[in-house]
Amino acid sequence: MRKKVSIYDTTLRDGTQGEGISLSLEDKIKIALKIDSLGIDYIEGGWPGSNPKDMEFFKVIKEYKLNHAVISAFGSTRKPNIPVEEDRNLRAILESGVKAAAIFGKSWDFHVEKALRTTLEENLRMIEDSVGFLKKHGLEVFFDAEHFFDGYKNNPQYALEAVKAAESAGADIIVLCETNGGSLPHEVEEIVGTVVGELSAPVGIHTHNDSELAVANSIMAVKAGAVQVQGTINGYGERCGNCNLCSVIPNLQLKGGYQCIPEDKLRLLTEVALYVSEVANQVLPNNQPFVGRSAFAHKAGIHASAVLKDGQTYEHIPPEKVGNKRRVIVSELSGTSNLKYKAKELGIDLNALNGHTRKIIEKIKQLEHEGFQFESAEGSLELLMKKVLKEYVQSFVLDSFRLIIEKQGDQECTSEAVMKLRVGDDIVHTAAEGNGPVNALDNCLRKALEEFYPFIRNVHLTDYKVRVLDEKDGTAAKVRVFIETRDATSSWTTVGVSENIIEASWQALMDSIDYALLKYQKKLEEEKRA
């Protein structure tokens, strides 16, 4: 039977201390419910004694029925030289109505004397009083021994006295905090093993990622006997972040033989990671292990050829286990395997492609040499393949467009586009304004086509990115433009490249609308077949 490792999520508290992360009350509720769906054991909602929003969270979350997680509050040991009953922080934890709480206390003698400005003996009393106070009121209590590893290295006897004070007061788990993130895995394993041997209470681990070892250190702590791992979704947290639960959970569960979350919940991991990043308004790194978009992406032709025969050749786990998926990228490094896989994914007839595979690959390599990039622009890639196969006829042809950008005095610039298109046998001449030249072009193109294709009204440009390719060329440099477009059912990305940013934008914009029309044509064909 697998050994259980309890997972304690602190995204809503420690995670919000990360630079650039600010969550509203509604955000915190949404994230808590999503994390609960993953089967996490504890969700730390915040510090009720520090701000009204956190206290409000504890009040509102009671209105929701969680399926698995226990909501926990965070706080500190009592202040020096005051009765524990009079400590506002501890009373706020009780007022929050939670059933569990994590309170931190000092275990590094240097911190006790320099930061708290109190005696080592008083600090031990603070720990014992605070844990005992919360236990007396019926709470499950986790004692977070702050800076434990630095404290142990400096004064092992006192660090052990600190955690033993918490144990004697009834702490349910003693959590050893690697607060500065500077310890190495072998140090963590050795120290955790020593503490496990010294205590009768269970031991947990809380690591930070300042040396990019938070996940490794947590795994070594579990190996040494820790039974709880604290961390955050996507590793959010102060400075370089906390232990990334999206990495430590699958490593422990799929490779270490431990049980962290229910087996059927592991496939939700990628979905939860993406959801939390979206609510937190953070970009999920493509190369984030397990849950990133590139975690199971294959670009080199040799890799793609092998992985299509057997995923184990270049994948450490099947991506579906964590809710991710394999991606085979078409680029200048591609071989025929990449292209055939992508054609199948896009629903393009592989038999029709066979005679054109080399031609398409050479075209892609030529365009990527010029600065195009198709691995992130699958809309443009599908159009390219369709055009080579002569399976797509463009629905409109540009005769001309003119942009007028006007600036008067200290007023903001205004942009207007005038455009002439041919749609079948019809000539369309139209004009539109916009918030900048690209938006004006976009509005003008849509205005011209809506009469013929009303569904265009439901197609929206959702992202626009520009990258300068040759900075040394200054304002004469080539630029690459990516445009992301969405309709009611999906999104797609297209690309354009030119020394002229308007030309590059127009290329990407044309492809975005062309792709929308391609989707429309597919739908009509499916309806005819039906």
Minimal CA–CA distance to 496: which of 388, 392, 404, 374?
Answer: 374
**17 and 132 both lie in a single domain:** yes
Same domain, 143 and 275: yes
Note the pLDDT of residue 373: 65
Helix, strand, coil % (nearest 5) of the chain? 45, 20, 35
> Domain check: are 372 and 433 in the same one?
no
Q: How many domains in the chain?
A: 3
Q: Are residues 381 and 402 in the same domain?
A: no
Whether 266 and 129 share a structural domain: yes
Q: Would you give the distance in Å from CA 428 to the centre of its chain?
A: 44
Rounded distance between C-alpha atoms, residue 86 and residue 452, angstroms:
74
In this structure, what are the phi and psi dihedrals at residue 424, rounded to the nearest 5 degrees? 65, -125
Predicted pLDDT at 356: 65
* pLDDT attached to residue 332: 46
Task: Look at residue 239 and tell me if it is in a domain.
Answer: yes
Position 516 in a domain: yes
pLDDT at 408 (0 to 100): 86
Residue 292 in any domain: the answer is no
Convert the pLDDT of each residue in 208-244 to its tens digit.
999 999 999 999 999 999 999 999 999 999 999 999 9
pTM for this model (two decimals): 0.72
* Domain extent at residue 308: 297-388
- What per-residue confidence (pLDDT) applies to 401? 94
**445 in the same domain as 313:** no
**Do residues 241 and 370 share a domain?**
no
| Domain-embedded: residue 515 | yes
- pLDDT at position 368, please? 62
Residue 18's alpha-carbon distances to 52, 112, 124, 238, 282, in angstroms, are: 20, 25, 30, 4, 11
pLDDT tens sequence for the chain (530 residues): 789 999 999 999 999 999 999 999 999 999 999 999 999 999 999 999 788 899 999 999 999 999 999 999 999 999 999 999 999 999 999 999 999 999 999 999 999 998 889 999 999 999 999 999 999 999 999 999 999 999 999 999 999 999 999 999 999 999 999 999 999 999 999 999 999 999 999 999 999 999 999 999 999 999 999 999 999 999 999 999 999 999 999 999 999 999 999 999 999 999 999 899 988 988 889 899 999 988 987 765 566 566 666 667 778 999 999 999 877 665 444 555 555 665 565 555 555 555 666 666 666 666 666 667 665 667 777 777 777 666 677 788 899 999 999 988 888 889 999 999 999 889 999 999 998 899 999 999 999 999 898 888 888 888 888 888 765 555 567 888 888 888 888 888 888 888 899 999 999 998 899 888 888 877 777 777 77
Q: 169-205 in b/e burial notation, b at 16+ Cβ within 10 A?
A: bebbbbbbbbbebebebebbbebbbebbeebebbbbb
> Which of 368, 388, 408 finishes a domain?
388
Kindly state whether residues 133 and 253 are assigned to the same domain.
Answer: yes
pLDDT at 333: 46
Domain boundary among 371, 388, 405: 388
Return the pLDDT at 174: 98
- Residue 285 domain-assigned? no
> Is there a domain that residue 355 lies in?
yes
My answer on whether 153 and 251 are in the same domain is yes
The torsion angles phi and psi of 36, rounded to 5 degrees, stand at -60, -35
Q: What's the pLDDT at 85?
A: 95
Same domain, 302 and 263: no
CATH code at position 496: 3.30.160.270
Q: How far apart are CA 23 and CA 36, in angstroms?
A: 17
Rounded to whole angstroms, the Cα distance separating 396 from 410 reads: 39
Residue 218: which CATH number?
Answer: 3.20.20.70
Q: Are residues 365 and 419 in the same domain?
A: no
Residue 302 lies in a domain: yes
Q: Domain for residue 290, yes or no? A: no
Gap between the Cα atoms of 170 and 193, Å rounded: 21
Answer with the one of 354, 388, 422 that is the final residue of a domain: 388
Same domain, 365 and 448: no
